[in-house]
Every structure is written in C-alpha cells, then in structure tokens.
Amino acid sequence: MLYLSKTDFKEFLICQKCLWLKKKRPEDYVEGEFSAFLKKLIKDGYEVEECFQQTFSGGFSNIGSRKELIEKTKELIIQQKTIFQATFETEEGLFAKIDVLEFDKKSKKWNLYEVKSGSSIKTDLFHNHIKDIAFQKIVLEKSGIEVGKNFIVHLSKDYIKNGDLDLKQLFVLNEVSDKIADIKEETEIEIQKALDSFKIDDVDLKGCGCIYRSHGQRCDCFNLFNPQVPEYSTAHIFKGKKLETLVNDNIFDVKDVPEDFEATKIQRIKIDLQKTGIPQINQETVRETLSELVYPIYFLDYETFGKPIPFLDGYKTNQQLVFQYSLHILGKDGKLQHFEYLADNLENATRDLVKSMKSQIGPVGSVVVWYESFEKGRNKELMKLHPEFKDFLEDVNSRVFDLMKVFKKDYLHPDFKGSASIKKVLPVLVPELSYKELEVQNGTMAIEAWGKTMFDDVSEDEKAKIRKDLLKYCELDTLAMVEILRKLKS
C-alpha cells in the first residue's frame, strides 16, 4: 500500500505530477542538485526537535523500525505518556510522525506540537506550516486520538546565547487551533485528492505546468517532462507574459528568439550573446574598473558554518561562524603569496581567525572578493563579536573590491549562460583551474565537512583528510580570483 505522509502531501500541493512520479515511478524521480543542502536542513530539523523535547519532563523517545514505532505508540497512548515521534498509519493510507504528542491531564486530550527550525510561521505555497499541522491533526483524529491544543513551535530570531541555552527564550510557541479549524475542510478534500492520485496508473509525461514559470521556479523533474527545453533556455531570461508568448510559439532556445521580440537592453544582450557566440567585453570600462585596484592586492574568501540552535555565546539562531579563510597576496612585482586559516576548535575559532588575518593584511591595498555582501556582512558580525578588531575589520570593508561586478555588465560571455558566478566564469577564462577534481567542490560540501570535524566522532586520520580537502577548496577560490584578474589584465 502507498502511504501519504506530510512531506508527500506538501509535494502534492506544489505539484501532483511530481508526487505521482516519486510514488509510482521512483526510478525516474530526480533527487535534485540541492539534495545535499536539503539533507542538511533535515538534519538541522532533527536537532531542533531534540532540543525542544528537553522542555518536557518524562517524555518518551520513540525509536525503532516503522512497525515498532507504530506498536510502541499504541502502548504509550494507553499509558498516557508524552511521546516524541509518535507514529501513526491509517486505513485510508495516511502516515504521520508527530514531533511531540503530550497528554493533557486536565482536558484528557492530546496536545500536538509541530517543531520548525526557522524563526517564523510560513504560509506560502512551498512552506505552509498551518497546512502541515492540519495534516498531522487529521491523521491523529483518523487514528482515534482526541486532539486538544495545536502548537507550531519555532525559534526566536532575537535570542542570543549567553551561557547555557535558555530554552524558554529560544523557542516560541504559537497556538494555531483556530487557524487549523479554518482550513480543515479544504485540507481534507486535498488529502483525498492526493490519495486518489495514487490510483492513477499513468500520467501524461509530455509537458508540465512549470513550462510557463521562470527557470528558478521549476523542480528537478522538469527536464523529464520537457526534454525539448535546453539547459539554458528562454526561461532564464524572460518571465510572465513574455515567457508565455515564447512558450506558446514553441521557442525555448535563446538563439530562436525573433529579432523584433520585445526585450529590455540586458535581455537583448543575453540573446545576442547566444546568437553570435561572441563575448561582449567593454574593454574601456573593465580597464577603468580595474584601475581602482591598489597593490598589494589581497584576495580573500571565507567559509562559514551555521546551525539553527546557537552553539556559541554571542550567536543568534542560524548565525554564521566564519571558520576558514584563504588569502592570496599579489605584489606589484607579480609575486604571489598564500596564507590560510582553518579553525580546529569552536571557542576561539573567530578570534584566532581575525587575529591571523590582521597579521597578514596590511594597511594599504585592495581586498578582492567575489560577491562583496557576503564577506562584508560576515565582517560586520565579527566586529560585534570581537570589538577589539572593529577598526581593522571596518578598514578591510572600506577596501573591498568586488571582482564579480566586472562580470555583471562589462564582460559577458555566451558560456557564462547569463550568470556571474565564479563557478561559471572560471572554466571559461581559466579552464586549466577546476573544482572538479576536488573532494570538497562547493560551499555546502565545505559546511558539511567542517561540521563533521567539529561535532561528529571522526578519527584523527579522517579529520586530517577533511582539513586537507577544505584547505585545497578554499585556496582554489582565491587562486581562481587571482588568475581571473590576471586574465582580465592581459
């Protein structure tokens, strides 16, 4: 029997075809490029749940196989115990795991807690927390549980850790029983529709509704349904009415957009890049921009790590800890030096990082980064954490030069596919440098790897290997900027 869980239901509300594919043809279902990031979010979610569970005394953690969880839940319900991960399956094919189910001795009903790792209640199409808890409540009621109060629990955005975690300050409880009542009927109808969709033997694999949506709004299964749409398509450039017109005319390849099709200046440039295959480089402006650079040039890149539950004093929920930097210094004589720092303990991670940077970044010279708001933003946070370095960090921020800005409008290449990301620019300008051979290839992998060395039980050998991989990755980020700048100058 196919069961419908809360996650499945959410997916159904976004796209019926996606859920059908996942359930009926899992071999064709595309996991997606963000799966590593999503896995981290799920892991974070469990940590928040576990932390919230500590606010209940005498709660029972339900662990085991799915069958064991269901059987144990039945026993604990009879014993009227507070249950973490109470698990239910219904005859209709519904499945739910409840974060916390608390027996209220006064009302003799069960209070339902749905824990979220964010810092607000969301009600948009992709994250509708009220729908989530309404689904859980419906499953409980169909399982014969009398539900009392319903709470959505999220983290406080204002809480700053200072000593032991203050769980009362950290969590915000919202009673949403009335909000659930408002949407209960419609949710029941939607659940039935989702269950009915499991009875369909086949869906039309030719096309899907997101063909009219811009690129970023499509799911990873899009290409399966729309193989005629190239990887870089008109949906990367247009949206709304204009995209609709092109789709209705079966125009997906940017090269096929008619000359007289209404487009803004930047849209027209992007079309011309693909049609001609010739880069558009405004040499004079690039030269002028680069003339702002002052030697020695410091190429700086940070890696950061955050968790929903603050793990250090002075930190808020999800605040990023800067655990690594790579710094290349290019002298006027062309001499290149490399420095780096990778934290190996939590307590002194950022203090030692800034101290190390201060010993290497002198009072004169531009600080080159890629996407300045990231490094500048972290520096502002570091100033608050370590006011003794405020002057130094303010000075660094005042000397920041964002190399990415050159690739926003003055150096455009058809192979950048409309992006100014270093991951797109590097293979075109400096193909001999590549992230492909590295064990750590992107920021998400770096977060995961460093978190492992700090919070998981890993052997010294494994830790040493991870640290080596992290250093190589971050070094490439700054070396890439050095070589891109050299290419531009030449």
**Residue 174's beta-bridge partner residues?**
152
Candidate residues 42, 63, 167, 209; the one interacting with ligand SF4 per rule CB under 6 A: 209
Total binding residues for ligand SF4 by CB under 6 A? 12
Round to whole Å and give the CA distance between 262 and 399. Answer: 41
Candidate residues 130, 210, 309, 393; the one interacting with ligand SF4 per rule CB under 6 A: 210
Please identify, using beta-carbon distances, which residue of 235 and 321 lies nearer to ligand SF4.
235
The one-letter code for the residue type at 10 is K
What DSSP string describes 146-187? -EEEEEEEEE-SS-B--SS--HHHHEEEEE-HHHHHHHHHHH
Residue span binding ligand SF4 (CB under 6 A) among the ranges 203-211, 253-261, 382-390, 453-461: 203-211
Q: Which residues contact 126 (CB under 8 A, 6 or more apart)?
A: 14
Round to whole Å and give the CA distance between 55 and 44. Answer: 18
| Shortest Å, Cβ 228 to ligand SF4 | 14
CA 224 to chain centre: 24
Answer yes or no whether residue 218 interacts with ligand SF4 by CB under 6 A: yes
Helix/strand/coil for 472: helix
Give the length of the chain.
Answer: 490
Please identify, using beta-carbon distances, which residue of 192 and 217 lies nearer to ligand SF4.
217
Candidate residues 4, 48, 221, 425; the one interacting with ligand SF4 per rule CB under 6 A: 221
C-alpha to C-alpha distances, 127 to 13, 124, 132, 241, nearest whole angstrom: 10, 5, 8, 26
CB 136 within 8 A of CB 125: no
User: What are the backbone angles phi and psi of residue 258, rounded to the nearest 5°?
Assistant: -60, 150
Can you list the alpha helix ranges (DSSP code H) found in 25-85? 35-53, 66-78
Answer yes or no whether residue 32 interacts with ligand SF4 by CB under 6 A: no
| Shortest Å, Cβ 101 to ligand SF4 | 32
Candidate residues 77, 155, 191, 219; the one interacting with ligand SF4 per rule CB under 6 A: 219
Candidate residues 18, 134, 329, 367; the one interacting with ligand SF4 per rule CB under 6 A: 18
Candidate residues 3, 7, 15, 261; the one interacting with ligand SF4 per rule CB under 6 A: 15
Answer yes or no whether residue 342 interacts with ligand SF4 by CB under 6 A: no
Residue span binding ligand SF4 (CB under 6 A) among the ranges 130-138, 151-159, 204-212, 267-275: 204-212
| Shortest Å, Cβ 224 to ligand SF4 | 8
**In three state form, how does the secondary structure of 341-381 look?**
EECCCCCCHHHHHHHHHHHHCCCCCCEEECCHHHHHHHHHH
- Comparing CA positions, the residue from 30, 13, 23 lying closest to residue 227 is 30
Residue span binding ligand SF4 (CB under 6 A) among the ranges 205-213, 303-311, 343-351, 416-424: 205-213
Q: Which residues contact 169 (CB under 8 A, 6 or more apart)?
A: 156, 159
Element (H, E) at 288: helix 283-290
Residue span binding ligand SF4 (CB under 6 A) among the ranges 46-54, 161-169, 207-215, 312-320: 207-215
User: What are the backbone angles phi and psi of residue 442, rounded to the nearest 5°?
Assistant: -155, 175
Answer yes or no whether residue 20 interacts with ligand SF4 by CB under 6 A: no
Round to whole Å and give the CA distance between 402 and 424. Answer: 16
Q: Which residues contact 344 (CB under 8 A, 6 or more apart)?
A: 453, 467
Please identify, using beta-carbon distances, which residue of 13 and 425 lies nearer to ligand SF4.
13
Please identify, using beta-carbon distances, which residue of 225 and 323 lies nearer to ligand SF4.
225
Candidate residues 225, 232, 315, 370; the one interacting with ligand SF4 per rule CB under 6 A: 225
C-alpha to C-alpha distances, 78 to 74, 145, 240, 332, nearest whole angstrom: 7, 11, 55, 77
Answer yes or no whether residue 17 interacts with ligand SF4 by CB under 6 A: yes
| Shortest Å, Cβ 261 to ligand SF4 | 24
The angle at the Cα of 311, spanning 306 to 313, to the nearest 5 degrees, equals 115
Residue span binding ligand SF4 (CB under 6 A) among the ranges 62-70, 107-115, 135-143, 202-210: 202-210
Please identify, using beta-carbon distances, which residue of 208 and 484 lies nearer to ligand SF4.
208
Answer yes or no whether residue 222 interacts with ligand SF4 by CB under 6 A: yes
| Shortest Å, Cβ 20 to ligand SF4 | 9
Candidate residues 94, 208, 474, 488; the one interacting with ligand SF4 per rule CB under 6 A: 208
Q: If you search the block for the tokens 């409008």, which residue do you land on?
A: 409
Q: Which of residues 227-286 bind ligand SF4 (CB under 6 A)?
A: none
Residue span binding ligand SF4 (CB under 6 A) among the ranges 219-227, 308-316, 365-373, 417-425: 219-227
**In this structure, what DSSP letter does residue 303 have?**
E
User: What are the backbone angles phi and psi of residue 178, rounded to the nearest 5°?
Assistant: -65, -40
| Shortest Å, Cβ 246 to ligand SF4 | 17
Please identify, using beta-carbon distances, which residue of 154 and 218 lies nearer to ligand SF4.
218
Answer yes or no whether residue 84 interacts with ligand SF4 by CB under 6 A: no
Q: Which two tokens stand for residue 383?
A: 């100033």
Interacting residues toward ligand SF4 by CB under 6 A: 14-15, 17-18, 208-210, 218-219, 221-222, 225
